[in-house]
Amino acid sequence: MSIVQVLERLGHTVDYPEAQTCCGQPPFNSGYWDEARAVAERQMTIFRDAETVVIASGSCGAMVKVFYPELFDHHPREVEAKALAAKTFEFSDFLVNQLGVLDVGARFPGRATFHDGCHGLRELGLKEPPRQLLQHVQGLELVEMREAETCCGFGGTFAVKFPMISTAMGEVKCTSIADTGADYVISNDSSCLMQIRGVLDRQGKSIKTLHLAEVLAQT
């Protein structure tokens, strides 16, 4: 609900089409493009009339914005896929680059570090927007971790197909996080946070994981 609260605070009307499910990234990344297309087509229909679509995940955002056009390349619904891609934005991208908002009026006391989800960072090019938003949160001290841009090891089905590699990557990431001395690790991708939370728990570390929207919703 945090994302709804932030958007409404900024004066926007938010709708949530209840029929929506998944963007189709799991089959897409596993090579099952026909199945991914079947799932994606449904979302394309559901969001056809929306003015703007805001997604609280860099990964799902990249799927719609970057990969839908590729998935529907030379497909009868190519134009529709591109239209949805054009009006879809990851949350921080929407706030900073579309609305020009840096300060959403949030207050959150604490020391935090930001983890770049790979899709948000590299597919969508969103290095600065989440940091700019966090820098304007009152009371929040933002510290950079070593190799912030290194993958946390989630990677969708990769995390369960190659759990040993995924876990080792998670451990490296969590060591970088812990070395900052931060109380919170913030990201704009829930799947990265699930991985980081999972590893931190097993390492017995008390650092909390938070989604960017959860921080921005606090006043």
Distances (CA, A) of 77 to 5, 109, 115: 34, 47, 35
CA dihedral of 94, 27, 186, 209, whole degrees rounded to 10: 140
- Per-residue interface string for the shown chain with another protein, residues 143-172, x marking contact by CB under 8 A: ------xxx-xxxx-xxxxxxxxxxxxx-x
Among 24, 58, 69, 129, binds another protein (CB under 8 A): 24
Q: How many CB atoms lie within 10 A of CB 100?
A: 7
Binding status of residue 2 toward another protein by CB under 8 A:
no
- Residue 147's contacts (CB-CB under 8 Å, 6 or more residues apart) are 176
Among 93, 185, 198, 213, binds another protein (CB under 8 A): 198
b/e per residue 32-70 (b: at least 16 CB within 10 A): ebeebbebbbbbbebbeeeeebbbbbbbbbbbbbbbbbe
Nearer to another protein, 5 or 141 (CB): 5
Q: Which range, of 93-101, 132-140, 180-188, 195-203, touches another protein by CB under 8 A?
A: 195-203
- Residues near another protein (CB under 8 A), total: 52
Binding status of residue 199 toward another protein by CB under 8 A:
yes
Q: How far is the CB of 45 from another protein (least distance, A)?
A: 10
Q: How far is the CB of 40 from another protein (least distance, A)?
A: 10
The residue assigned the tokens 């089959």 is: 27
Site for another protein in 114-133 (CB under 8 A): 118, 122-123
Distances (CA, A) of 219 to 2, 105, 109, 123, 152: 11, 7, 10, 31, 29
Binding status of residue 12 toward another protein by CB under 8 A:
no
What residue ranges in 87-166 does DSSP mark as E strands?
Answer: 88-90, 107-115, 138-142
Q: Which range, of 77-85, 99-107, 126-134, 197-205, touches another protein by CB under 8 A?
A: 197-205
Where on the chain is the footprint of another protein (CB under 8 A)? 1, 4, 16, 18-22, 24, 26-27, 29-33, 35-36, 38-39, 42, 118, 122-123, 149-151, 153-156, 158-170, 172, 194-195, 197-199, 201-202
